[in-house]
Homo-oligomer: A and B are copies of this chain.
Amino acid sequence: MTKQDPTLDALFQALADPTRRAVLAHLASGPAPISDLAAPHDMALPSFLRHITVLEEAGLITSRKSGRVRTCKLAPARLREIEAWLTPYRPLWTREKPRYSQLAKSLYAKPSGT
C-alpha cells in the first residue's frame, strides 16, 4: 500500500514451516549444534541446513562455527517484531466491541500492516 516490508515477509515466511518452528522450540531450551537440531527430523542434512539458513536470514537465529561444529542460538528480537505487528490488532479480540476507528488510527500511524 504505502511501503513494503521485506523483513516482515521473511519473518512470517520463516515461521510458515513446521520444521523451522520445531527448531525454534528446540533452541528455546538453549543453544545447540546443527547435528543436535537435525537429529529429530527425518531429512537429509543439506535439506535441513536450508531451514537453518532461512531462519538465520530471517534473523530468528544466529550461529557461530567453532572447530567443525556450528552452534545456533535463538535471536528473540525478531519474535518481538511479530508481537509489535500484532499489537494494533489486539483490541479486536480483547474487547467485545471492535473500536474500529481507534484501530485504524494506530495502523496508519506506523504502517506495519503494509
Chain A residues bordering chain B, tally (CB within 8 A): 47
**In the complex, which of the residues A12, A26, A79, A83 has the most CB atoms of chain B within 10 Å of its own CB atom?**
A12
Number of copies: 2
- Tell me the A19-43 residues at the B interface (CB within 8 Å): 21-22, 24-26, 28-30, 40-41
Main secondary structure of the interface of A (DSSP, over half): helix
Contact B100 A22, beta carbon cutoff 8 Å? no
A16 with B9, Cβ < 8 A, contacts A28-B113, A76-B93, A104-B29 known: yes
Quote the shortest CB–CB distance from A99 to chain B (angstroms): 10
A61 within 8 A of B: no
A-B contact pairs, 28 of them (CB 8 A): A1-B26, A8-B18, A10-B16, A11-B16, A12-B13, A12-B15, A13-B13, A21-B85, A22-B113, A24-B89, A25-B111, A25-B114, A26-B113, A28-B88, A28-B89, A28-B92, A28-B100, A29-B101, A29-B104, A30-B100, A30-B104, A74-B89, A74-B92, A76-B93, A79-B93, A80-B93, A82-B82, A83-B83
